[in-house]
Amino acid sequence: MIKRILIVDDDPNILFLLTQYLAQLGPDYQVEACSSGSEALALSRVRLFDLVISDYNMAGLNVLQLAQTLRERQPELKFILMSGHDEALLIQKVAELGLSGFIAKPFTMASFYAAVRSALES
């Protein structure tokens, strides 16, 4: 079954790397990318996703607000937060909001893929 994944990050290099990586894993993943939370909200109005993976530190819309808004629209949506800052605080926020996981930057592709699979299989 095809899983639709949205990656949100304001770093174009990370967007490219992660979308290419997941696309190379095979036809089971249909991956789209957005460079901002507001762009992700707009896209979510026309497409449903199984998983959203978003950087925490971006200009504009607070990513925790993005997660809450998307999950209000689609309660079964899985959401993984990525960040290279204040890991303990963000892990607590992930737990409080019932998000699917946290990926600390920098990360390996193996740990990224493990987090994606875990979220999609839960």
Alpha-carbon span 122 to 106, nearest angstrom: 24
pTM beyond 0.85, yes or no? yes
* pLDDT tops 80 at residue 86: no
**pLDDT tens-digit map of 2-32:** 999 999 999 999 999 999 999 998 889 999 9
Q: Which CATH architecture has domain 3-121?
A: 3-Layer(aba) Sandwich (3.40)
